[in-house]
Amino acid sequence: MNDMSPQPFNPQNWMPAHKPIGMPTQDFRNPYRDRDAPNWQKRSYNWASRLFTFGAALLTTGLLLAAFTDWLSTGGFGALEYFLILMVGLTFFWISLSVSTATVGIASFWLQQRKPQQVMPPSTALDVALLVPIYNENPSDVFGNAAAMLEDLRAAKSKHRFSLFILSDTQDPEIADQEMRAMMIMRNAQEDVQIYYRRRRQNTDRKTGNITDWIEGWGGGYKAMLVLDADSLMSSKAIITLADELSNDPSAGLIQSCPKLFGAQTLFARMQQFSNVTYGWPMAEGLALWSNREGNYWGHNAIIRTAAFASCAGLPRVKDRLILSHDFVEASLLRRAGWAVRFMPRIEGSYEETPATLIDYVLRDRRWCQGNLQHLRIMSAAGLHAVSRFHLLHGAISYLLSPAWFILLMIWALISNGQGSNVISYFSDASPKMPIWPHISTVSSMLILLFMYGMLLAPKVIGAAVMWASPDMRRDYGGSGQFAASFALEVLTSFAYAPVLMIQQTIAVLRSLVGIHENWEPQMRRGGKYTISTLIKFHIVEQVFGFALVFGMMAGIVSLWLLPIAISLSGAVFLSAISGVNLVGKSWGRRQLGTPDEVRVPRVIALSSRYRAEMREALDVRIAAE
């Protein structure tokens, strides 16, 4: 982009000629197979990895439940004791599954590293549409990212042909005006590429409707579509690799990359970014191995075979409501129709951003919670593959675990306080129908606590240990000392924020269950500015529970081993306030929680920073001139 100044532009050329393709609404009551899907089902499903991953998780959970059952067997079993065992099994299985998935991922990565990588040229060149659906977003950031990707693609050599579509659902007239100005700047600066812009006057069915509108109007002209989010950024290598893989695998309906977080500046965002980059890859490797060709879709940074998606991913409404977390469902429908859904975590150069503050993260999480819980109604759809049903269940369980953890912690806080507790005496003497809780010593409480925390820490330790074993990787994190400091800071902050997020996700589940529908507003990608009164109001529930735990400990009712959780909840307002502290803007914090992409900045990220700044300046100059 050599010229960022706006020039006269003919708005009639903002979109290409219509090439419609039908996208019928699917019926969840009847199975469906796409007649164009190739017959590939006899390929290996890698059952060994699934057996080990799920078998290890079930075995570990079974051993823990055996210990708990033996401990609770004093005086027989009652309803509350069975409920406690159920809660322990439910929560611990998903922890065990994370550990086994990460372990399988490390093994797979180590074995694959010893094999030479085979890079195959594409069998056929594809017309690929890069789709960027937006809704009241910052135009300088959206178009800056788009310019960076186009510039990187221009410098790369590929047989594929790429066109970029900015698909706007923006309802704010001022932002829409800025989008059109940014489009004029882009079109005049990028004369040798195909870039288009379309704005819908009504954002019917939100992102799902936005993509459907494009498919039904222009999808017939493109073999593949690479769906991006407003904050997505992908290098030319990542984009071309996805296109090559789709071209070489006629059975693939969708190939998902594994986006890394980038651009984080605040404490909370950098904590998320460091965790994603450092610990996320073993989980991603393991997930790719056992999910095989029944993978999942995260709604962005994935390439999709357009005709296949149109044929089988048209979403109906559930109970007259729009399917919110549409991506998991679309992946399930693609697999149901006979198309493979693949996950390729080793593709480098796929990026996205994360909310800057705790409140912004929670507000986004509430929307995701409502959408994921909706999946429980869809799991029974006819013809879905078993692994697809598991993906839907996992998405819902990831939120239901928070109230399960909360209930478990409250029960455990009351029964683990040793002899002499008023609560235990009440349960065993005054109320004979209640269970007789066996005595649990302080040592036993600490051992159980350490074991649970150890399992929670295991995926972090696995990822960090592999990074530490490589001198080159330690250098990319700023050196051994800096890596160790960042690791310690991430563990400390993530453990501090975890109880607050547990309460907030419990609130999100309750809001969904009582029918409070979340507004799907644009994300505050740079973080909102919240007053102390707003912080107190937002975190009042955590504060009350935190103070209640502290007073319970002082009264001898609640076990002292919950003190770290009590401190976290009592300090929720403080933690929320410091979550938005800009570390990058401070000399002492700039290196904290840093990642290799900050030490060695990839070309596409550098281009994005440059073009965002240039686009922001160009738009500001244009507005000032008027």
Burial label, 549 (beta-carbon count in 10 A; 0-12, 13-18, 19+): buried
CA distances from 427 to 350, 431, 436 (A): 55, 5, 7
Supply the pLDDT for residue 100: 94
Task: Return the closest-CA partner of residue 514 out of 397, 375, 373, 368.
Answer: 373
Q: Residue 560 gets which letter from DSSP?
A: G
Asked if the model's pLDDT at residue 9 lies above 70, the reply is no
Average pLDDT (301-324) is: 95
Find the mean pLDDT for residues 111-134.
81
List strands edge to edge, sheet with 233-234. Answer: 233-234, 350-352, 260-261
Task: pLDDT band for 469, please (50, 70, 90 cuts).
Answer: confident
Find the mean pLDDT for residues 455-483: 86
CA–CA separation, 105 and 97 (whole Å): 12
- Give the dihedral sign, CA 334/335/336/338: positive
Percent of the chain predicted with pLDDT > 90: 65
Percent of the chain predicted with pLDDT > 70: 85
State the pLDDT at residue 42. 53
Of the pLDDT bands very low, low, confident and very high (cuts 50, 70, 90), residue 421 is very low
CA distance 557 to 344: 50
The whole-number average pLDDT for the span 610-625 is 81
User: Smallest Cα–Cα separation from 545: which of 454, 444, 413, 425?
Assistant: 413
- Check whether 429 has a pLDDT greater than 80: no
Sorting pLDDT into bands at 50, 70 and 90, what band is 5?
Answer: very low
pLDDT at 7: 43
How many Å from the N-terminal Cα to the C-terminal Cα in the chain? 24
| Strand bridging mode 252-257 / 161-168 | unpaired
What is the structure's pLDDT at 626?
53
pTM, to two decimals: 0.91
Q: What b/e string do you get for 244-278 counting C-beta neighbours within 10 Å, with b at 16 or more?
A: bbbbebebbbbbbbbbbbbbbbbbbbbbbbbbbbb
Residue 420: band (very low, low, confident or very high) from pLDDT cuts 50, 70, 90:
very low
Q: For residue 177, what pLDDT is reported?
A: 93
Residue carrying the six token digits 């914090």: 589
Sign, Cα dihedral of 284, 286, 287, 288: positive
Q: Which helix (H) or strand (E) holds 196?
A: strand 194-199
Lowest mean pLDDT across 55-59, 522-526, 571-575: 522-526
For each of the domains in the chain, give its residue range(s) and CATH number, in order of start: 121-233+595-626 (3.40.50)
216 exposure class (CB count in 10 Å sphere: 0-12, 13-18, 19+): middle
Of the pLDDT bands very low, low, confident and very high (cuts 50, 70, 90), residue 143 is very high
Cα torsion 136, 167, 357, 611 to 10°: value is -100
Q: Is the pLDDT of residue 418 over 50?
A: no
pLDDT at residue 445, rounded to an integer? 55
Q: What is the pLDDT of residues 83-100, one digit of tens each?
A: 888 888 888 899 999 999
Asked if the model's pLDDT at residue 419 lies above 50, the reply is: no
Look at residue 434 in the predicted model and tell me its pLDDT: 47
Structure tokens given for 388 = 């697809």
Confidence at residue 422, expressed as pLDDT on a 0 to 100 scale: 41
Output the average pLDDT for the chain: 87
Which candidate, 101, 562, 452, 513, places its Cα nearest to that of 290? 101
User: At residue 359, does pLDDT exceed 70?
Assistant: yes
Instruction: Return the DSSP state at 294.
Output: B
The four Cα atoms 286, 287, 291, 294 give a dihedral, to 10 degrees, of: -150
If DSSP codes are grouped into helix, strand and coil, which group holds residue 323?
coil
Q: Of residues 371 and 524, which shows the higher confidence score?
A: 371
What is the reported pLDDT for 452? 67
Please give the average per-residue pLDDT across 530-553, as a whole number: 93
Amino acid at 74: T
- Starting from the edge strand earliest in sequence, which strands make up the sheet with 194-199, in order? 194-199, 161-168, 127-134, 224-227, 302-305, 252-257, 340-344
Amino acid at 310: A
Which residues neighbour 298 within 8 Å (Cβ) at sequence distance 6 or greater?
Answer: 256, 259, 327
pLDDT at 604 over 70: yes
> Quick one: which of 329, 353, 127 has its CA closest to 233?
353
**How many whole angstroms separate alpha carbon 394 and alpha carbon 398?**
6
